[in-house]
Amino acid sequence: MSSALFSPFALRDLALANRIVVSPMCEYSAVDGCATDWHVIHLGHLALSGAGLLIVEATAVNAQGRISRECLGLYCDENEAALARVLAIVRRYSAMPIGIQLGHAGRKGSQRKPGDGRGTVPASEGGWQTVGPSALPFIPEWQTPQELDRAGMEAIVDAFVHATRRCVRLGLDMIEIHSAHGYLLSSFLSPIANRRTDAYGGNRENRMRFPLEVFVAVRDAWPAGRPLGVRCNGTDWDERGLTPEDAVDYARALKDLGCDYVDVSSGGNSMAPIPLGPGYQVPFAQRVRSEVGIVTMAVGLIREPQHAEAIVAEGQADLVAIGRGILNDPRWPWHAAEELGGNVNVPVQYARAATREGIHQHFALRTGTR
């Protein structure tokens, strides 16, 4: 029996060797939005993992859109040059497709990075005024965002377009727009954060309007052959917030606009607890996939190869994103290939380590039972 997880997949002109995606993960290791040597190490080793696709962390489209001072950005020439250097090194040793997640932190910006305590960074320490759909802080102790007016929203759409043009020049293979976890686009979608009374607030259609405007603008600036996906919330886990029905409607609208996949996550618009457990977000991806018929990516505590295999084989999702599991075990796809009998691309330098038998083969080594 061949493995579903290790079957190839295509998004527009982009061919993926398998269904395993390295989930975007903020590293809080940039300087003024510029990637550093840490990104060479971090992205470099994940690019040797054998996954079908690597998505670079949430990358801010303007400086105000960073979650923290240490977040990656793509809003100036220096940012672009720094990422170009990292990508050139990584690509020298890996043919893995590399995408990027573009986003704006909205009212959750100007925060201290993990490990530096919690809370808003004041202007005296390099913090900045945040923005949001409404002048409501995420929690009372955090900064109150400035409510965006139409000019401010247009400037953010422009920033997404400019960042997209930088992605074109960087030769990135795909873009994922971040509209999950309570960041700017997510906060427009969620009634918890969006209390606007204009055409961008109120009913679901209005709350979707700004994220969809961003999607259209990015799609227009991005080459037709390259895929554009969106990360969204399957639920806010909060009775005041987004529901699976919202996710279905949003995915349907995105599909109509040419979205290539939806990556279904959850939470982050409030402090509501998230009932964590293996595959806790998969049912939301499955529902979107079956009701909308759009390509879906499932994510969230998918740690066992057999679990990932079942998600794809049973049609719960088309792609499986792995976050913490692949940080913990950067050869997760190799081990999954061994268990499931799949193929992974392995650099020739590591070929002798790639199978239990230790048989040396060149690139595209076959692992597992033979």
Ligand X SMILES: Cc1cc2nc3c(=O)[nH]c(=O)nc-3n(C[C@H](O)[C@H](O)[C@H](O)COP(=O)(O)O)c2cc1C
Contact 57, 101 (CB under 8 A): yes
Q: Is 25 in the site for ligand X (CB under 6 A)?
A: yes
Rounded to a whole number of angstroms, the minimum distance from the CB of residue 55 to ligand X is 8
CA distance 204 to 198: 13
By beta-carbon proximity to ligand X, the closer residue of 215 and 365 is: 215
Minimum separation from the CB atom of position 263 to ligand X (A)? 8
Rounded alpha-carbon distances, angstroms, from residue 134 to 138, 145, 193, 360:
11, 7, 7, 59
Nearest position to ligand X, beta carbon: 323
* Span near ligand X by CB under 6 A; candidates 2-10, 284-292, 320-328, 332-340: 320-328
Is 57 among the residues that bind ligand X (CB under 6 A)? yes
- By CB under 6 A, residue 299 contacts ligand X: yes
Total residues contacting ligand X by CB under 6 A comes to: 20
User: Catalytic annotation on 75?
Assistant: no
Give the nearest distance from C-beta 182 to ligand X in angstroms: 11
323 part of the interface to ligand X, by CB under 6 A: yes
Report yes or no: 327 and 304 within 8 Å, Cβ to Cβ.
Answer: no
Structure tokens at 141: 């102790």
Applying CB under 6 A, among 3, 23, 194, 266 the residue interacting with ligand X is 23
Contact call for residues 367 and 333 (beta carbons, < 8 A): no
Counting contacts by CB under 6 A, is residue 24 touching ligand X? yes
Of 232, 237, 198, residue with least CA distance to 215? 232
CB 56, CB 101: distance < 8 Å? yes
Question: What's the distance, CA 226 to chain centroid?
Answer: 16
CA atoms within 13 A on the CB side of 27: 24
Where does this chain touch ligand X (CB under 6 A) — which range of 20-28, 78-86, 90-98, 195-203? Answer: 20-28
324 binds ligand X (CB under 6 A): yes
CB of 3 to ligand X, least distance (A): 19
User: Which DSSP state fits 71?
Assistant: S
Q: How far apart are CA 87 and CA 126, in angstroms?
A: 28
> Residue 222 class from Cβ within 10 Å (0-12 exposed, 13-18 middle, 19+ buried)?
buried
Task: List the structure tokens of 366.
Answer: 């076959």
CB contact at 8 A, 163 and 61: yes
Contact segment (CB under 6 A) with ligand X among 105-113, 125-133, 253-261, 293-301 equals: 293-301
* Of positions 16, 20, 21, 26, contacts ligand X by CB under 6 A: 26
The one catalytic residue in 183, 250, 261, 280 is 183
**Interaction with ligand X in 84-113: which residues (CB under 6 A)?**
101
The answer to the question of residue 265 lying near ligand X (CB under 6 A) is yes
Catalytic positions, please?
A: 183
Q: What residues line the site for ligand X (CB under 6 A)?
A: 23-26, 57-58, 101, 178, 180-181, 231, 265, 299-302, 322-325
